[in-house]
Structure 1
């Protein structure tokens, strides 16, 4: 299972290392765990999505690192503000403007139907920031949630039964939340004996008013049990009813499998991690719900 992409670049000097970290932090990147190993140190930054792209033939690429953003103008303003604040000490306004012209480009259209600008926070490291010029591409506008979790609080209800599976699902959910910028103190983990108890715990959490989204994790194996379908029906009904009656988004991460091998595959071995997917869905639904509530009313009242 492919989990993520990491791009490694070496800063030429300790000062360049610190400068790059400050630049990425100023643009709103989520900081990842850093590390120190003797004389070496590392600093990481995360983004919700990553892409690796190979090109067949010559390509006129503006930089080694391309970062897709929304609100390209606001990102450029942030980059310019940072470059001004970190101009050479004692530089005049004319010298600062000359430096900006050399390290920060204007927003320009590209042949691949995007708009783009480049920034060079340290010499030799040029970064391109881009945004689709026509993000809708002829399609009707749609309101969608995103994977930014600023100010959101989540609860994860996870069953202890079949912990070899549910612990993997829990790890996937935490990975999705933390990668999207959630703070650990905003994630509440509640363990229940088995899948049957998940709806009750989820309902109790939803009614507290302190949770924005709930992720339910468990596993039901058919095996030789005659009551498999009865349990699954009640668990799914209870989770759905809790969501509808409390208005709190509930993500369904309860696996229903024929065998243990199938469950392992869906918990990260071969078929992705359903805990990660459930957490991503919860983030998106909380985001969408907030957008719907904040959207202006269309039309006039009758």
Structure 2
């Protein structure tokens, strides 16, 4: 029996659109085996218990790469902590787990780098797949169909607080509201801020996040799809958050706080209670290990 654990991820990270992501200590766990004569799904909702299941699709991509034909498969979701369609990388956990599970079944003919490339081809961009595989904060790009990445050594002193709405937001809808082109001014805005933001994470100058963790390419378009976005964002900043950003395509808003500032989390929860905003509040640490097979 093969078990795979994959962490939640948060992509885009302010100005790091489609290139910057980070892994957190929230997990989905899967179990695989090749001991049946058919494909069986366990733990998934009925609508996902078929060959359109993204875990199965990732496994098939891996098998096809190696011309391997499994006798049959048992694919089980044994632990689900990451909510679906909330901007926390749920689909990436399925892709990464499927690739690792399939590779393990075949006796590990493919390297992690090769699996990573297949995962990016499936997902279409690397910003969630990279931290899901490798953990930590990761910058990643695609160049001539090759994928390159680099982990950032994030200095201690901060925590991440996920503000998770009680509704889903499909990635396809969030993509549709984006413009097909951006102006020169917006490009310079994001390039300058993502450069400053990465340096702030690398050397611990977190006071710079107030200025650097801002975006001009996607958040202003997607925020209109999220009820109470402006209210929640501005309140977190007023309560002392270092910065906030839209997690992935949303609807989750991620706040960055100082590690020793525990009052902010309680104050956010109180604010939600009195404003009758039914969002979940979860404080995360960075997962630096990434996906694990055991």
With normalisation by structure 2, the TM-score equals: 0.25
Q: Give the structure with higher Rg (CA).
A: 1
With normalisation by structure 1, the TM-score equals: 0.24
Q: Which has the higher contact order (CA 8 A, sep 6+)?
A: 2
More strand by share: 2
